[in-house]
Amino acid sequence: MSASRSSIVLTLLACFVPLSLALNLFNFFWMDGVFAIVTIISFCFSEKSWAGIRNTFGFTNKFLLTCLAAYLGSGIMGYFLNSPMQMHEWNKIASLRWIWGFFACHAVGHLLAEKSKKFNWSFTALIGILGWIIYRQYNMTAGDFITPDHRLQGFYSNPNYFALALVLVWAMVLSFVLYSNDCPSRTSATLALVLATIALIATYTRTSWIGMICTLVVALFYTRNKKAIAISGLTLAVFAAAVALNVFELKDRILYTFDFSGVNSQIARLTIWKVSWQVFLDHPLFGVGFENAAKLFPSYYVKMGHANEYVVGHAHNQFLDTLAGAGIFGLAGYLGAFGGGAVFFYHKLKYSAELHKKQLALGSILCIVALFACSWTETPFIQHEVRNFILILLGFSYGYLAGKPQQQTTL
């Protein structure tokens, strides 16, 4: 491949993450095609040997592959052991091909690290899509914008899905804002962070608010940025005042968390947690298959003496959902994959000399923090919209930070 053509390809690959962040907010189904395209490009651009392909796509990390095999294999085994294995079950197993998106994103990061100098992210596309979403919501609500009667959901089917996806982007962008005052993309990152914060508030999704607070605490702990601490403290104080004054009915939304009267989301969560735990106890090793647990919930409601007029479609807790669907082996693989990733990114954050690598490492840690903070009352990982961001951000960051820069070409 000629030097000029290589430079063009690398430039396109450098745009992959910034554009994907915006594209996944607009139409997350399109990312399946993007993963396929970058796979083909990465394959053509990698060394034509099995060792080169393994390095490009990240097949050399035995611990990660073992964890993924345990997670996916356990859930698949659960299908075989506890379902009739008809077309529906085979389709669910086939849908697990989403895992390839992680390796495709790894390949992009790896190739940029191996064959180019450092990149500078531009958040222009993300700012554009967030601005469009906010403007669209403003028109739809006749100028109210932040209102519990019309919770912001962007182009997704549910405000919770939108919030759980956006909080991961918020976590990554936060690292670019906090980590350095002289970052080339800091201005655009700051604007993107402000727009994302406004959008997350407008979703009225309490779980994402918890994720934001946990992420911010960890970010400030790592950066020790006094100015950022002061600004964050002031922002939280303003938000607390708005809650106290019930601006935009925020106080009502938060107090609803402690309402356990009647049939509401709190009661539904407590019930489904008990039911999911019982499903796990009955099938502790491999679970009943990733999405097969939902089919068993109605019978378990009756079995355990709960009213079954309102049966939710998942456990509303990622860890219980994994235990019910993939058993203890599946949960071990799930926690091992993200735990191993957190250790890897922490090592890169601590020992990397380049600013952009530290930003990627910290951003990846914050993504994991946001994901796990939101996982106690929701199941973000099973949502296609949310999972795409995990594949994009963590896959790319791992591939880039694990690569060895050779500076063969420049962007």
Going by the DSSP 8-state scheme, the letter that residue 309 receives in this structure is S
Work out how many domains the chain is built from and give that number: 1
Q: What is the pTM of this model?
A: 0.94
Please check whether residue 198 lies inside any domain of the structure.
yes
Q: What is the pLDDT of residues 196-234, one digit of tens each?
A: 999 999 999 999 999 999 999 999 999 888 888 898 899
Please check whether residue 21 lies inside any domain of the structure.
no
What's the Cα-to-Cα distance from 388 to each of 36, 101, 187, 269, rounded to whole Å?
13, 8, 26, 25
* Domain carrying residue 390: 60-402
Q: What is the pLDDT of residues 71-93, one digit of tens each?
A: 999 999 999 999 889 998 999 99
Give the whole-angstrom CA distance, residue 334 versus residue 371. Answer: 12
Give the whole-angstrom CA distance, residue 201 versus residue 286. Answer: 38
Please check whether residue 27 lies inside any domain of the structure.
no
Please check whether residue 102 lies inside any domain of the structure.
yes
Please check whether residue 49 lies inside any domain of the structure.
no
What pLDDT shows up at residue 408? 39
pLDDT at 409 over 60: no
Please check whether residue 319 lies inside any domain of the structure.
yes
Residues 6+ apart with CB under 8 A from 235: none
Please check whether residue 169 lies inside any domain of the structure.
yes
Please check whether residue 7 lies inside any domain of the structure.
no
Going by the DSSP 8-state scheme, the letter that residue 183 receives in this structure is -
